[in-house]
Chains A and B, each alone.
Chain A
Amino acid sequence: MLRRSSILKLGRLAAQATVTAALWTASTGAWAQDVIRIGAPLALTGGLADEGKKQQVAYDMWLKRVNAAGGIQVGAKKMKVELLTYDYQSDEKRAQQIAERLITQDKVDFLTAPFGSGHTKVVAGVAERYGVPVMASVASSETVFNQGYKYLFGTLAPNGGIVQNMAVIFTRLIPGVKKIAILGREDVFPRAMAAEMKKAAEANGIEVAYSEFYPVGTLDHAAALSKMKATGAQWVFITGYTQDLILARKQMGDLKFSAPIVTMVTGPSYREFVDGLGKLADGVTSASWWHHSLTYKSDDVFGSTEAFYKEFVAREKKDPDYVNASAAAALVVLQKAIEKAGTLDKAKVRDALAATDILTFYGPVKFTANGMNQGRDLPIIQVQGTKIVPLYPTPIKAGSLRPVAPF
């Protein structure tokens, strides 16, 4: 079984390579002028391969729908869309080089940003230099958007909004919460989230009993967790990437360390967090930028959250997460801006993007002056059993906050 699926996967990889090579060849030749070219540096191999593939799937879903409808309306004519993807191998420097190549050699009209705040920042710097609008789907740190870039637009809301609601709601629902212990990964997004949580806790009268960072590459959290346990905190808040959070939660179990509230950002937003923890995932809370139980109806290519969800499940045989939705939404927003501008002129499309105020299948999108999607009530979620249950906001609430069971 492994062998068969392996051969299939390797075959698929070879096919992808061929398609990419074909696009490369085409890029050096003459392009038909009725095609809109969008460049997408993606992490298809290396450490971020999983995340890069999530973006790729969403881009492909959007592309198929758009081209099936004849393309994007640009002024009086409809133009098909060509997506040029290159694998930047999860390497920041390579992402920068590829962005440069896409703009100068492939002559793309628009760009999408790679996964994560750090890599987005690098690509946005290149795009800004050439005046090419770049759509960021997975960057939520304000340090990426406060550089004065005019051509960068992101579909995720600022990450500060995630924890402010949590502090208010959790302390109201579980009144005994007086102390919080915070552990964050030394990285752009997780560090920002840990800092935001500290601010939100202090603003809500919660004592911060522990607040430390662990470096990238930490293979053991036992020392930090032992110290956090000794504080007797009622709320444990840990940020990091999925492997960090699986390890931290597992080691909390090893040390019989529990608290009524255990929050991990963005762990439970990803299905693999629950798969990797089994019963240990039960009760962990988090927040997300999107959940498939949202009920938006829109006039974009997907039409509604439900339609996007159904197509994704039929295609991928699993639930979409916020990365999938945000990536598709980024291209939906770009499409709307091109249609509104009625031209492929980069500066005019940029202005149309800046003036965006629409409702998409993903939710409302309206950019603030720095290019970030404006803050709104982001979903708060909890793993209950092995299901991910939205707790907030009210329209999508499917359950109530349950304290984590002690070991």
Chain B
Amino acid sequence: MIGLQILVNGLTLGALYACLAVGFSLVWGVLNVINMLHGSLIILGGYLTWYAWLHWQVHPLAALLPVALLLFALGWVIQMTMINRLVRQPVLTTLTVTFGLDLILYNAMNVLFDATPRRITLDLGTLSLGEVVLAWDRIVAFVLALALTLLLYAVMNASRTGRAIVAVRMDRDAAELMGIRINRVYAMTFALGAGLAGACGALMAMVFPITTNISGLLLGKAFVVCVIGGLGTVPGALVGGLVLGLIESLSGHLFGPQNAVLIGYGLMLVLLMTRPTGLLGRKGYE
């Protein structure tokens, strides 16, 4: 029975990994920007949700959409005012800019919220299926993570904005010649990435203690998930997240927790050498 519990643990963890990686993957895939700010944006989403719950008793699930919209707006402003000016520069330039922005946001959050771990102490209880136990907040996070990923997939495939983003990803110059306003598509993409980070932060505030200490870890996980799942595809982030969650859970059980993270990174290295596009990586969002 413990095997089934390990499997369930891995799936719920994997869904959270997918959730934190999908926005990062989108920005990297479309803009070719490695957004070093992503981990801190997730933490900001978590802090805002925690603050709304603590001071105004707003349920984290009710706060999810407003927090996502706030971060969407922040992402839009950052892209329009800063990154759009540099987006045609080599990837190292935008990486450095987002790294600098990350330092500012990280330390601003330390000043505003302290680095003290904050958690929403709203325990939703557990669901027991035989000997397998599942926490409701993890189930909710799992369902919402899947829903957010599917929503993004639908937006990419069925909306005008989504198709414009796909077109820009496939061929920026051709898309521009077709009349697509590149800067707005870029801003929309970055804002979507930031909004998804905010939504993920709201979910995580129910499950994890939120602290700036873990922003670098979240960024690292997003990176690994993207490499495993493949860039440029929404399902890639989902598959990458679930695979990483399952591998960490299984290897933690079989080889001890000290080796679980190592094995996850080992898989990333093997994939980089044998299948650099990742499990589902494709060129565009076609």
Contacts and interface: CB of A to CB of B under 8 A. Distances in A.
Given A276-B121, A276-B209, A9 B112 contact: yes
B9 A220 contact: yes
A215 B258 CA distance: 5
A247 B205 CA distance: 11
Interface residues of B, number: 50
B217 interface: yes
Contacts of A230: 2
A49 B258 contact: no
B220 A217 contact: yes
Q: Indicate the size class of the contact surface on chain A.
A: 35 or more
Contact of A46 (B110, B121, B220, B257): B110
A278 interface: yes
B123 A276 contact: no
B66 to A, nearest CB: 14
A231 to B, nearest CB: 11
Contact of B248 (A47, A223, A243): A223
Interface string B233-259: 000000000000100111011001110
Contact of B114 (A10, A49, A220): A49
A299 interface: no
B249 A223 contact: yes
A50 B257 contact: no
A277 B128 CA distance: 22
Interface in A35-49: 45-49
Interface string A247-262: 1001001111000000
A203 B255 CA distance: 27
Contact of B110 (A49, A212, A407): A49
Contacts of B260: 214-215, 218, 223
B252 A223 contact: yes
Secondary structure type dominating chain B contacts:
helix
A219 B208 contact: yes
Contacts of B252: 220, 222-224
Given A50-B115, A212-B256, A254 B138 contact: yes
A253 B105 CA distance: 33
A276 B118 contact: yes
Contact of A227 (B126, B133, B253): B253
A89 to B, nearest CB: 9
Contacts of B212: 47, 49
Interface in B1-34: 2, 5-6, 9-10, 13
B70 to A, nearest CB: 12
A199 interface: no
Interface in A195-227: 212-215, 217-224, 226-227
Contacts of A394: none
Contacts of A253: 123, 126, 135
Interface of B: 2, 5-6, 9-10, 13, 51, 55, 107, 110-112, 114-119, 121, 123, 126, 128, 133-135, 137-138, 207-209, 211-214, 217-218, 220-221, 245, 248-250, 252-253, 256-258, 260-262
Interface of A: 1-2, 5-6, 9-10, 13, 45-50, 53, 183, 186, 212-215, 217-224, 226-227, 230, 241-243, 246-247, 250, 253-256, 272, 275-280, 407
Given A219-B221, A276-B117, 11 more contacts: A6-B112, A49-B212, A220-B13, A220-B245, A226-B253, A227-B2, A241-B213, A242-B117, A250-B119, A250-B207, A407-B126
